[in-house]
A and B are shown apart, each in its own frame.
Chain A
């Protein structure tokens, strides 16, 4: 089963890039890494996922190291509305369910 490790909290200035790291050193070769976020009092929201290659969408970019043991989620121009808990997740078990940790609480400051 893949487990992920993230810093409990981070700060970022509004307008700057937010780089959120995640370690997943036990991830196996065919397991994707997923990123979700949860804004206070709302349901989690999907951001992006990747396997080996770097990925980019309208919300963020995902940089995955060549050995796949870690990844970084990049919010290129953070806004106050990006203040949330960010979860880095990898599926686990025979039924491939997502294992959620406590994530990183990102505070975007004006």
Chain B
């Protein structure tokens, strides 16, 4: 059984388009995250939700909008895609808010903006 799943796995799109990445976890966790891993392999947190409420919002352009319809889902919508948005995006979840809780990661979504 997949614990944290993301769709799609690969996403290739043109500059200026709007796209969404979906994330679902079946672990019963109450906290979910979005991370961005760039070409230099730095993994940076973008957002964190606890029980559908935003608790971490890093310095991310407002073209990125997370949406959590329920505790098990955290989707990422990106407007007006730019070349610099090309990266691998990872969703993660944990029981409790992050720092003292093991995080489970999804397989990642490789976004390529042309």
Q: Which residues of A contact B (CB under 8 A)?
A: 31-32, 36, 38, 41-46, 49, 85, 87, 91, 95-98, 100-103
Contacts and interface: CB of A to CB of B under 8 A. Distances in A.
Contacts of A31: 99
B107 A100 contact: no
B103 A97 contact: no
Interface residues of B, number: 24
30 contacts: A31-B99, A32-B100, A42-B107, A43-B108, A44-B43, A44-B90, A44-B105, A45-B105, A46-B103, A46-B104, A49-B102, A91-B99, A91-B100, A95-B48, A95-B55, A95-B98, A96-B100, A97-B45, A97-B48, A97-B56, A97-B58, A98-B45, A98-B98, A98-B103, A100-B43, A100-B44, A101-B42, A102-B41, A102-B42, A103-B41
Interface of B: 4, 40-45, 48, 55-56, 58, 90, 92, 97-100, 102-108
B5 to A, nearest CB: 11
Contacts of A102: 40-42
Interface of B: prevailing SS: loop
A95 B56 contact: yes
A38 B43 CA distance: 11
B108 A98 contact: no
Contacts of A91: 98-100
